[in-house]
Amino acid sequence: MATYVLVHGGGHGGWCWQRLTPLLRAAGHEVYTPTLTGLGERAHLLSPDIDLDTHIADVVGVLTYEGLTEVVLVGHSYGGMVITGVADRAADRVGRLVYLDAAIPEDGQSLVAVAGMLMAAARAGSRVVDGVELVLWPDSDAVRYYGVTDPDDVSWMWDKLTPHPWKCFEQPLRLNDPAALTRIPRAEIHTTSSLAMSPPGTAEALAGKEQTWVVDAGHDLMVTAPKAVAEILLGLV
C-alpha cells in the first residue's frame, strides 16, 4: 500500500482532487489532500502573512502529525513549488516527487521566475483586500489557463475557486540541501495544453526523459482526465 499526498495549485483547494482520490483509494492506497492556508475551506484564515513558506509548513505538518513516510508527494501547478520545499524540509518522509503539470523550481527561484508570462497575466487582475494582494480571482481571465471547458465542470469548480495571495508567487524558494533533494526519485506529468505554450523544443526534450508523461488535457487534468492521471500514479508504486 502506498501513501499519496496531493498538493493543489493556486486558487484551488483539496476539493480539486475529488475525481482522482476514489481511483487511488479503490486500488488500496491511502490519500491525503490538504488545503493550503487561506484557500478553499481555509479561506477564512487569509492574512498578509501567508507566503510560500506558510504552505510548505502546511504540508510538512501533515506528514509529521499523520506520521507519514515514503509518501508519493504530488504537486499540481504552484503545488510544484510547495512539494519541492516540503521534500527539502522533510526528505526522510518523502519517497517520490511527482510534478503534475507543475512548476519545477531550483534553489532561489520564485514562481514568477519559473513562469513569468503567466504570473504577469495573473497579476494584471490583482485586487487588494484587507491588506492582502490577491490574484486568480474566479471571474478573471487568468482562470482560462486551467483548461476546463465543459460547462458542468466549470459549474462544479466555480464556487470553489478562491483568489490566491500574490506573496506566495513572488517569494523565492530557499533550499537547505539542494543536493539531497536531487536524490529523491521524481516523475513529471505534463499536458499538451501547457506544452503548447512552452518554448520551442520543450516537447522534444521531454520525449527523451525517463519518468515523464504527457497527457492530452488542459492544465487541470485531475478534473478533466482523472483516469489518465490515476493510471500514471498507480504505475509508479
Which active-site residues does the annotation give? 77
181 close to 173: Cβ distance less than 8 angstroms: no
C-alpha cell at 17: 482532487
Measured CA to CA in angstroms, residue 229 lies from 55, 102, 126, 156 at distances of 24, 14, 31, 20
H or E element in which residue 212 lies:
strand 212-215
* 3-class state of residue 48 by DSSP: coil
Contact 102, 76 (CB under 8 A): yes
Residue 100 CA to residue 161 CA, distance in Å, equals 19
From the list 78, 75, 109, 114, the residue with the least C-alpha distance to 94 is: 75
- Round to whole Å and give the CA distance between 137 and 134: 7
Residue appearing with cell numbers 521524481 = 186
